[in-house]
Structure 1
Amino acid sequence: MVPDRARRTQHGERYVAASDTRSASAPGIPSAFRLALLLPLVAGAMLPGAFAGGGTRRWFGGRGEGQRAEAQAAKDAAAAAFYELDTAQRGLRISIETITAVDSSPEARDAVAGFEALGRRIDQVSHVYITAVDAHDLDRDELDAATASRARTELTRAKDELDRVKGELDRFEAGLAPLLGRAETQLARLAPAVERARQALRGASDALDAVREGGLRADDLALRLARLGPELTRLNEGAGRHGVPETLQRADRVLRDAEAVRAEAERLPERAAEIDRRLVSLRTRTEALTTRTEGVEPVLSELRRRFSLDCWQDLQHVPEQAAASLAQAGERLGEAGKARAEQRWPDATSLLSTVRALLDSTDEAVSAAGDRLRRLEAVAKDPDAEVDRARFAVRDAQRLAMDGRTTPDPRHAAPLDQAVARIDRAVASLEGRHPDYWHFLTELGEVRATAARVVGQIREERGGGAGH
């Protein structure tokens, strides 16, 4: 016996010459669909001649002809159901291919397995239909009423099976809507994403050309752009070779990297000008700090002459440290200038940042000597002013601690009581021939800091709903 699938194919091939312009059936769906569509047409073309009395076929009148007509109608209905199922399966196959082109998730794999199972069911009902069509020649002259009735029954049963499987297919297709929607969204993104990546590469290349025309080499940017060349080749090879998700990711990556190159190329002239400005500014600042450093030694001499050792001993190495830092800053400035001339922009930027850090620390140290002398002179002239500032800060904190209370919270009262004692000790430390005014200033500064911490703690607790 000829296998079922081969029978379906052979059955359809008899009508290939008369088939319409539809494309060949998808794998798993035989050409016998064409048979189902064309047999009614062939039978219809034959009937007029028979009724006109010009044919030689022997017709049975009455009930026999009625049974033949009913069988033919059942055959036409089955053919229509066969065609609807074919059309639906073709459409569903396109949906499945769309999903698998984009999605490799377990959900997508389940959809493929479900479609294959449906294909097997369609093969089964198609076999039933083709067998019924092949078993009964409704145009045969010798067709009797019983045979026509049996043909109608078998064809009607085949149609019902085709309709039932068509319903299963429709429900399966409806369940694919979320997967298909996501897949179509990604496919819709594909062409625009690839085109945007190409445009970004062209934009980066144009920007780089413009920079070079201005005399800037931008070798590092040119290298980064060259590394994107293989990625463009893969984009041009298409999603058919590399897959839709990977192609979308590649397009996004190329777009991002190319845009970064373009942006940096467009900023490069301004970056070069900024480096030039910073070189000039830092050279000027270095010269100014060199001059200021020369004035540190006289300040230290004044401190040594008028105040005790503890007031200035931490500053005695400032001149040497400042000179070393300035010398190092000068070396780095020279290296930065060379990097600028060679258009090594990252190196130039890094070196200038180092110079700025060196100058900042030097400026702070040089300023500290002068500030120390001014503060010590002020406190030596009027120590009570510092004492009053510290006592005011503590009293303000005490008033806040007692607000709405009959007794203060020990967590607040204890540090404030200690602060009062520190003020008294600091005042007492000024007695004697060589008072340590720097220790006095440091102690009172810490007293004010303690008061500020207590105030902050109280406000935080009360602001958060804590009880008084």
Structure 2
Amino acid sequence: MTATPSQPYSPMVPRARRLPHRSRRRRPPGALRDTLTLVGLPFLAALALPAAFAGGGTRRWFGGRAESQRAEAQAAKDDAAAAFYELDTAQRDLRISVETIAAVDASPAARRAVTDFEALGRRIDEVSHQYIDAVDAHDLDRDDLEASAASRARGDLTAARTELGRVKQELDRFAEGLGPLLGKAETQLARLAPAVERARQALLAASDALDTAREAGLRADDLAARLAALGPELTRLNQGAGRHGVPETLERAERVTREAESVRAEAERLPERAAEIDHRLVSLRTRAQALTTRSEQVEPVLSELRRRFTAACWQDLQHVPDQAGESVRQAERKLAEARTARDEQRWPDATALLSTVRALLNATDEAVSAAGDRLGRLNAVQKNPEQEIERTRFAIRDAQRLAMAGRNTPDPRHARPLDEAVARLERAITTLEGRHPDYWHFLTETEGVRHTVADVVAGIREERGAGH
């Protein structure tokens, strides 16, 4: 069914279905009236005298049984008419519900409901024709209506009323089954108008925000293009759900609302975004200049490392001065590109370039700091290696106590790595003996031992936590 709730109602009952009417008695023709006038009152009185002795008019002359049958037939006719009107009204009301479902819901259940309603409509047409034929077949207003004819009329009209009632019950059961589908359809229809209005308001707000940004000297060409792309969507929304369907219109309205709100938010943030990019340009340029100065100090640090410690303690830092200088120069080139992008208001490009500059400067900062940190740690261990040794031994003993808590013997999974950690520490201590100790190897070994011990402790606590 392609009808929508907005289409005019077209009854399913065919034009052949018409309402019954009572025939009117015809008045005597003019000639007969004139004849009666000429005959005069005495003659009429003579004609009426036998009738008076008979006790009434013509109908009563045939007896009361015919009148009783006529009354029963007329009551059956009235009951059938009431059933007919009730069925017709119910069908009209239900048609509106079915059209609503068809306009909103394209599911198999909705299509099946439309098909079933059409089948019911054909059944209603059949019983309606049966009723109309019964009415047309019997003239209950005839003066000479016989009792047998009135009885047949009553039977036909009663049968018609029974069929009308039976179909009305089928229609009522069908209406009850439409409840979930109709509720869903009405919910979607209730959402339709507010959703379309939200989309229109979102588009208007996005346009206003874009105008405000332009007044501030910000072009926002990309946002303007995104907003212009929503123009055809607004046209389709204005054409209405009758043309594009309720589900499609709802989905379109929600999509337009999301995109318009995104454009509005970005347009409102443009001044803040421009100020943020300006701030980052200045901040990163200052940091690049500071790193240039710090990188110049790496070479003296390396000279001291070469003079006081073995090659193993500093040879991995040889590339730091050259790498730091190149990284800073590359960061400065990217900063210049970011400045150009900002001047041209290419905000995504400017943001991406500034992120690259930041990554370059972070890597340079770490490399430059590594040389100074290395010298500081080597100086400390050369002056007092016992402090590093005791720190590592404490970590091992603490892990051993935890492994033995509540046990007579440690779990081999914990004892084995802890025993290996003890042996590894002892081997590292031996590297400090001799004329040229490898302090860096000693520091990396003790740090590795502590990492191993920390992993064992974490495993023990995780197992005991899971046990609880």
Q: Same fold (TM over 0.5)?
A: yes
One-letter amino acid of the counterpart of residue 103, structure 2: A
Partner residue, 2:51: none
Unaligned stretches of 5+ residues in structure 1: 1-23, 47-55
Would the aligned equivalents of 1:33 and 1:82 in 2 still touch at CA under 8 Å?
A: no
Structure showing greater radius of gyration is 2
Query: How far apart are residue 57 of structure 1 and its match?
Result: 8.5
Percent identity reads 74
Over residues 80-105 of structure 1, what are the superposed CA-to-partner deviations in whole Å (9 max), with x where a residue is unaligned? 10010000011111111000101011
Q: 1:57 to 1:300 in 2, by over 3 A?
A: farther
Equivalent-residue separation in structure 2 for 1:110 and 1:57 (angstroms): 59
Query: How far apart are residue 142 of structure 1 and its match?
Result: 2.5
Partner residue, 1:385: 387
2:88 is aligned with 1:104: no
Would the aligned equivalents of 1:211 and 1:266 in 2 still touch at CA under 8 Å?
A: yes
Over residues 275-304 of structure 1, what are the superposed CA-to-partner deviations in whole Å (9 max), with x where a residue is unaligned? 000001001000111110010000000000
2:253 is aligned with 1:251: yes
2:170 is aligned with 1:186: no
SS in 2 for 1:122: helix
Partner residue, 2:127: 125
Query: How far apart are residue 431 of structure 1 and its match?
Result: 1.0
Partner residue, 1:451: 453
Partner residue, 1:277: 279
Would the aligned equivalents of 1:204 and 1:258 in 2 still touch at CA under 8 Å?
A: yes
Q: 2:85 aligns with which of 83, 95, 98?
A: 83
Query: How far apart are residue 28 of structure 1 and its match?
Result: 2.9
2:30 is aligned with 1:28: no
Partner residue, 2:412: 410
Q: 1:25 to 1:281 in 2, by over 3 A?
A: closer
Please give the residue correspondences for 1:231-242 in structure 2 after superposition, counting only pairs within 5 Å.
231-242=233-244
Equivalent-residue separation in structure 1 for 2:202 and 2:103 (angstroms): 26
Please give the residue correspondences for 1:307-318 in structure 2 after superposition, counting only pairs within 5 Å.
307-318=309-320
Partner residue, 2:46: none
Equivalent-residue separation in structure 2 for 1:379 and 1:259 (angstroms): 60
Over residues 246-266 of structure 1, what are the superposed CA-to-partner deviations in whole Å (9 max), with x where a residue is unaligned? 000000000000000000000
Would the aligned equivalents of 1:286 and 1:330 in 2 still touch at CA under 8 Å?
A: yes
One-letter amino acid of the counterpart of residue 384, structure 2: D
Partner residue, 1:151: 153
Partner residue, 2:365: 363
Would the aligned equivalents of 2:18 and 2:132 in 1 still touch at CA under 8 Å?
A: no
Query: How far apart are residue 73 of structure 1 and its match?
Result: 1.1
SS in 2 for 1:142: coil
Q: 1:373 to 1:411 in 2, by over 3 A?
A: same
SS in 2 for 1:464: helix
Partner residue, 1:424: 426
Partner residue, 2:202: 200
Partner residue, 1:329: 331
Over residues 332-391 of structure 1, what are the superposed CA-to-partner deviations in whole Å (9 max), with x where a residue is unaligned? 000000000000000000000000000000000000000000000000000111000100
Equivalent-residue separation in structure 1 for 2:149 and 2:377 (angstroms): 124
Would the aligned equivalents of 1:336 and 1:351 in 2 still touch at CA under 8 Å?
A: yes
Equivalent-residue separation in structure 2 for 1:339 and 1:139 (angstroms): 98
Partner residue, 2:378: 376
Equivalent-residue separation in structure 1 for 2:406 and 2:456 (angstroms): 16
Would the aligned equivalents of 1:32 and 1:130 in 2 still touch at CA under 8 Å?
A: no
Q: 1:25 to 1:293 in 2, by over 3 A?
A: closer
Unaligned stretches of 5+ residues in structure 2: 1-7, 26-56
Q: 1:287 to 1:57 in 2, by over 3 A?
A: farther
Query: How far apart are residue 130 of structure 1 and its match?
Result: 1.4
Partner residue, 1:53: none
One-letter amino acid of the counterpart of residue 268, structure 1: L
Query: How far apart are residue 114 of structure 1 and its match?
Result: 1.2
Partner residue, 1:218: 220
Would the aligned equivalents of 1:33 and 1:83 in 2 still touch at CA under 8 Å?
A: no
Equivalent-residue separation in structure 1 for 2:58 and 2:411 (angstroms): 120
Equivalent-residue separation in structure 1 for 2:177 and 2:159 (angstroms): 28
Query: How far apart are residue 140 of structure 1 and its match?
Result: 2.0
SS in 2 for 1:143: coil
Query: How far apart are residue 121 of structure 1 and its match?
Result: 1.3
One-letter amino acid of the counterpart of residue 150, structure 1: R
Partner residue, 2:169: 167
TM-score (norm 1): 0.89
Partner residue, 2:466: 464
Equivalent-residue separation in structure 1 for 2:9 and 2:112 (angstroms): 24
Equivalent-residue separation in structure 1 for 2:207 and 2:63 (angstroms): 86
Equivalent-residue separation in structure 1 for 2:191 and 2:467 (angstroms): 54
SS in 2 for 1:172: helix
Q: 1:116 aligns with which of 118, 124, 132?
A: 118
SS in 2 for 1:407: coil
Equivalent-residue separation in structure 2 for 1:366 and 1:248 (angstroms): 58
Query: How far apart are residue 68 of structure 1 and its match?
Result: 1.0
Equivalent-residue separation in structure 2 for 1:256 and 1:25 (angstroms): 37
Over residues 48-84 of structure 1, what are the superposed CA-to-partner deviations in whole Å (9 max), with x where a residue is unaligned? xxxxxxxx99675411111111111111110110010
SS in 1 for 2:372: helix
One-letter amino acid of the counterpart of residue 349, structure 1: T
Partner residue, 1:177: 179
One-letter amino acid of the counterpart of residue 404, structure 2: M
Would the aligned equivalents of 1:430 and 1:440 in 2 still touch at CA under 8 Å?
A: yes
TM-score (norm 2): 0.89
One-letter amino acid of the counterpart of residue 328, structure 1: Q
Q: Which has the higher contact order (CA 8 A, sep 6+)?
A: 2
Please give the residue correspondences for 1:341-360 in structure 2 after superposition, counting only pairs within 5 Å.
341-360=343-362
One-letter amino acid of the counterpart of residue 278, structure 2: D
Name segments (4+ residues, structure 1) moved above 4 Å.
Answer: 31-34, 56-61
Would the aligned equivalents of 2:334 and 2:353 in 1 still touch at CA under 8 Å?
A: yes
Would the aligned equivalents of 1:71 and 1:138 in 2 still touch at CA under 8 Å?
A: yes
Over residues 385-438 of structure 1, what are the superposed CA-to-partner deviations in whole Å (9 max), with x where a residue is unaligned? 100010000000000000011100000000000000011000001111111101
How many residue pairs align between the two structures? 430
Equivalent-residue separation in structure 1 for 2:283 and 2:67 (angstroms): 111
